[in-house]
A = this chain, B = another copy of it.
């Protein structure tokens, strides 16, 4: 069989799915906790799930600095879980949900690839179980409540020029980035500037993913800062008294979604916050539910170790109160060569020299993981054009530097292609480790930012714009100094300049602006312009999409 002729969708369609009840049984989910959505998806009523044999251990999959070539982090995450499954371990995989809007722009999904996928990919990439729609609804209900409050007399004296809360849609729609609402005269609301973000950028998404239960969800929602009065006093959802209504809208969205991998490993796919202006991990509830049900939970975080893994550990794991037991760093020959200066079009040619140049990027990611007191495991994710000399170079580098490394071939072989990686991870899990966070919450905001920039990015200095400096003072006055930091930085470089590949040193990072996400519970530090509402290309993928007469999606991938 020539794999090169099979698309991810072909492979997915050739797979025989097990009924979701069977997957639930395998995962130890009681029948009364299972709420099926069709034959192959379900939501889990977390109130009916009992902890089994103590809490499972968490294996985080992160990566070197991503490149446009793609490193296959989700694929390795799924494949590693399938490998544990083949080794008869009690394992679950916990992933993020993909956004719907971007699929109309550029072909592609986010459910792994080859023989390491979660299924049914068609449903997961479309409306799935409605979570993102519920988040969109809650976000926009809050906007409607804000505008209605102002229209009805503005008792809270909200300054309509200082409303931070934006509307959202799960859509790539540049025309909605900057809008004026409330036009048409005195019966049609109060005119003001507004804008739409894509739903994954909603603070409600971040909150849903950081909530420990529905009560906590409501409490976090109540703390959202929607804007300020003319005298700069923060106005919260609690002031508007709508946290109950907003939490009610999310009562089903908060339940983790159960699906399966091609090899029948139970998978929880739940939540999908941005990895730049938010923390980029699946929900705490999914991870914790998986920990209740299994001995090992394989999960991932967005982008490289500088962004996703740092936030996973310092925001998500801290909030949930668990420690990761192992961290896998996904690397590819292709990405290492790009970090060594090779252009995307020339990646098929053997180039050990470029590898030597680019390996510094992986080196820094490996070093980063060690800062948390954890021993990293590099997953060298094989691609068809890798040459033996190239693979041997990376393997030798690992040997020389005492770095655990395993070649993974999960795209082509599924779990079987990840057995070596699984065995390396098992050794790390068993050995004693001294986990620690990168920073303590009590440190001032500037200190926390400086720690991330110097320790993780390898930078020399942090500069704050005058706006950011002013905000630092305001945030301290508001009592927001204790929040963790969520850095918004390009994923392609350790610096704030996407073109600086490899492992630059001695650079300066400029914090242009801060955003207070007092509901989610973090302060976003923006190092550049971050796009929170994508646009469509000239020829959107939608032009090739269709549905068959019996209701199957065409052209989704």
Contacts and interface: CB of A to CB of B under 8 A. Distances in A.
Interface of A: 35-39, 43, 45, 47, 100, 104, 126-127, 130, 133-134, 136-137, 140-141, 143-145, 147-148, 151-153, 169-184, 187-190, 213-215, 218, 241-242, 244-245, 247-249, 251-252, 254-255, 535-536, 538, 540, 542-556
Q: Nearest 9 CB-CB pairs, A to B?
A: A244-B546, A175-B189, A133-B133, A245-B542, A147-B175, A178-B184, A245-B545, A144-B173, A178-B183
A173 B147 CA distance: 8
Contacts of A175: 143-144, 147-148, 151, 181-182, 188-190
A242 to B, nearest CB: 5
Copies of this chain, tallied across the complex: 2
B178 A179 contact: no
Contact of A542 (B143, B188, B242, B548): B242
Contact of A100 (B43, B137, B176): B137
A385 to B, nearest CB: 33
Given A127-B134, A170-B137, A214-B547, A540 B188 contact: no
Contact of A241 (B140, B181, B543, B551): B543
Given A127-B130, A183-B180, A542-B242, A171 B144 contact: yes
Nearest to A173: B144
Nearest to A32: B39
A174 B152 contact: no
28 contacts: A35-B38, A36-B36, A45-B551, A104-B145, A126-B252, A127-B137, A137-B170, A140-B171, A144-B171, A145-B536, A148-B536, A151-B535, A174-B189, A175-B181, A176-B181, A178-B188, A179-B179, A179-B181, A180-B183, A214-B548, A214-B549, A214-B550, A242-B543, A244-B544, A244-B546, A244-B555, A247-B547, A248-B556
Contact of A130 (B43, B45, B130): B130
Given A183-B178, A247-B546, A144 B104 contact: yes
Contacts of A214: 547-551
Given A177-B189, A252-B551, 20 more contacts: A35-B38, A35-B39, A45-B551, A104-B245, A126-B249, A127-B130, A127-B137, A130-B130, A137-B171, A141-B171, A148-B536, A148-B540, A151-B535, A174-B187, A175-B190, A179-B180, A179-B182, A245-B545, A248-B546, A255-B551
